[in-house]
Each structure stands twice: as C-alpha cells, then as structure tokens.
Amino acid sequence: MKLLFVADPLEAFNPKKDSTLAMMRESARRGHSVWACEPRQLRWSRDSRGAQAVRAPCRHIQLLDGARPWFTEIEVLGLALRDFDAVLMRKDPPFDSEFFYATHLLEQAEREGARVFNRPRALRDHPEKLAILEWPAYIPDTLVSRDPAVLRAFAREHGDVIVKPLDGMGGAGVFRLRNGADGSPDANLGVVLETLTDTGRRTIMAQTYLPQIAQGDKRVLLIAGEPVPFALARIPQGGETRGNLAAGGLGRAQALQESDLAIARALGPTLAARGLLLVGLDIIGTRLTEINVTSPTCFVEIREQTGFDVAARFVDAVEAAAARPDA
C-alpha cells in the first residue's frame, strides 16, 4: 500500500514516543510505502492537463533505526491525494480555522476518490471537548458557557471545579478552582474566568473536579470501534492537577477496568460507524472527560510497558478499511 500521513513537520517528531512514527514504522515493516505532507501544503488546483484534484508536495521517506535522524527523504512529488491507498490525518490540535479548512480539503479529496482516516467530516463533527455531551450519562457535572456570571455560579455551587478552553491540548490552559473552607469562592475565580473567556467572548468548559485524577487520567484507545485492552493512566506529579504527559504526568499502562470497558463499548460502535477509525477516550475514575479524534497518542508507552503492539492493531484496521469499497 501507498500511505500518506498528513501531520506536523517530520522534523518536529519525538522519535522516542511519537504515535504517528509508530504507525509509520509498522507500515514500513509490512512493506508499505510511507509518504508525508503537512496540512498547510494541501491545495485544490487544476494541473496542466486540466485535471482537478486536492494535491500536496508529498515526501517519500525511508525510516532509519536511529533516534535522530529517524528518516531520510527519497523524493518529493506533487501528487493528488487520490493517488494513495490511504490518507491518515494526524495533525495535532488545536482545532483552529486552518484545521477546519484542511478537513474541507480532505473531504473534497474523498469526493475525488481518496480514502481518508479519520473521516474529515467526523473530525469536524466531534470537537474533542464538546463531543462528550452526546453521552451525558458517562460524564461529570459539566457546563459549557462563555458567560462569566454563569460560570461563577457553577464554580460556587460545586466548590471544586476544573475550567479549560475548548481548543487546547496537553493540559494547556487548565485551571482548578476551589472554594475556601468557609465556602468563599477561589481568590483567582474572577481573573481565571475573565482570562479564559476573554471577558465573555470565548466559550469554555467547566467540570466538577474528580479526585480520582490522583490514580491517573486514563487514555483508552478505540480502533475500529474496539478497545485496546490496555490504557495509559497519566498520573499528576509534583502537586500538579493535570496528568497530561506534556504537563509532566507519569504514564503508567494498565489493563482496562470494567467501567472503562462499559464506556468504550457504549461509544465505540457509534464512533466507528461515523468514520472514526482511531479514537482516544479520556476517563478519570468512571467518568468520561474527553473524546480525542485528531491525533490520539500513547501507542509507544503502551507497547513498551505491556508488549501490546497498538500500531500493529491500527495498521491492521487501516488495511482492512482501505480494502472495503464503502470505506
């Protein structure tokens, strides 16, 4: 197969733990041809013969064994996305206007015959913080608003809350706000809400604080609707509220608990039917907090700690999906 990875610049990859690179290595091991481009390079145009297509300057790469450099470039060709057996959209958040435009170009490429995973429309329809609202039975008490007064009331009522932007990643912009012992609001409540909402101009999310975060923010991976049997629990360190690895959290792989499986089984078939081949559920305790669809990670950590090869399971799913006429 000829595979195109639409991702951040290759030079920015962390070879020790990048999940996209794990996918590439497994693809190359199977003899597939590995190519890459960046979302900013996507364009729709006519060629000299009048043929119309979504194209990009695509880098054909050979993977190396060393940490750096981890690849060498064979050639760069301007190719239509429909020329590939599968196109894997792996751009990291934030989901900004440029990401939105890229999904539209990828959807046009689908109309021209490209096989894109995850499906571009599904990426647009499942913003990672807001997608949980479809399954309220599994989530903590949650408020989505840009009204500082409404957010203040929620924080005062619940006493211990997390507030976060809707377009962040890696724990960026996440704050914990707690009432005092006498019930008084957190001294930073006003300034945090004013900052996150840009004084009422930006919508954010507030959720009740889940003390089970001390045991980790679990990343549960779904591949073609089926859960990977191990999660990566990202455990806060050094007094941090956030367990995100980017915020210094410790990643500990563990077998899925029954509550994890219940959530995965409830959501998996629906998400897969919508064209989401790979999904990362974030679960704290028994509560679902996010549904990650843009570029779910933790492949390498799970394999290193448990021996379960997530990348192999994923490439199996890509091969199967690309072979189906209705994919």
Indicate which residue of 219, 287, 303, 313 is catalytic.
Answer: 219
Q: How far apart, in whole angstroms, are the C-alpha atoms of residue 327 and residue 317?
A: 11
Whether 234 is catalytic is: yes
Which among 69, 76, 70 is positioned nearest to 22, based on CA atoms? 70
Q: How far apart, in whole angstroms, are the C-alpha atoms of residue 181 and residue 185?
A: 10
Whether 202 is catalytic is: no
Q: How far apart, in whole angstroms, are the C-alpha atoms of residue 29 and residue 152?
A: 53
Question: What are residue 100's phi and psi, to 5 degrees?
Answer: -60, -45
CATH match of 2-118 with 3.40.50.20? yes
Per-residue confidence of the chain (327 residues) as pLDDT tens digits?
A: 999 999 999 999 999 999 999 999 999 999 999 999 999 999 998 877 878 999 999 999 999 987 789 999 999 999 999 999 999 999 998 888 999 999 999 999 999 999 999 999 999 999 999 999 999 999 999 999 999 999 999 999 999 999 999 987 777 889 999 999 899 999 999 999 999 999 999 999 999 999 999 999 999 999 999 999 999 999 988 667 766 666 577 999 999 999 999 999 999 999 999 999 999 999 999 999 999 999 999 999 999 999 999 999 999 999 999 998 765
- For residue 301, list its beta bridge partners: none
Fold: same for 2-118 and 130-135+212-323: no
Token pair in block for residue 192: 């945090």
Helix axes 299-306, 19-29, angle to 10 degrees: 70
41-90: per-residue pLDDT in tens?
999 988 778 789 999 999 999 999 877 899 999 999 999 999 999 999 99
What is the end-to-end Cα distance of the chain in Å, rounded?
15
Whether 290 is catalytic is: yes
Residues 6 or more apart whose CB falls under 8 angstroms from that of 164 comprise 129, 173, 174, 175, 196, 204, 205, 207
Report domain extents, the chain.
2-118, 130-135+212-323, 141-208
Residue 162 φ/ψ region, left for φ over 0, alpha for ψ in the -120 to 50 degree band, beta for the rest: beta
Indicate which residue of 164, 287, 303, 313 is catalytic.
Answer: 164
Which among 212, 218, 254, 214 is positioned nearest to 237, based on CA atoms? 214
- pLDDT given at position 261: 98
Whether 242 is catalytic is: yes
- pLDDT given at position 107: 98
Whether 164 is catalytic is: yes
Indicate which residue of 107, 128, 167, 290 is catalytic.
Answer: 290
Per-residue CA distances from 51 to 30, 37, 87 (Å)? 33, 21, 20
Question: Is the separation of the CB atoms in 20 and 90 below 8 Å?
Answer: yes
Which among 7, 169, 203 is positioned nearest to 102, based on CA atoms? 7
Token pair in block for residue 156: 């005062």
- pLDDT given at position 207: 97
Q: How far apart, in whole angstroms, are the C-alpha atoms of residue 117 and residue 297?
A: 15
Indicate which residue of 110, 186, 292, 303 is catalytic.
Answer: 292
Indicate which residue of 25, 59, 242, 303 is catalytic.
Answer: 242
Whether 282 is catalytic is: yes
- Domain 130-135+212-323, CATH among 3.60.15.10, 3.40.47.10, 3.40.50.720, 3.30.470.20: 3.30.470.20
- pLDDT given at position 248: 72
CATH number for the region 141-208 comes to 3.30.1490.20
Whether 292 is catalytic is: yes
Indicate which residue of 59, 91, 234, 303 is catalytic.
Answer: 234
Whether 83 is catalytic is: no
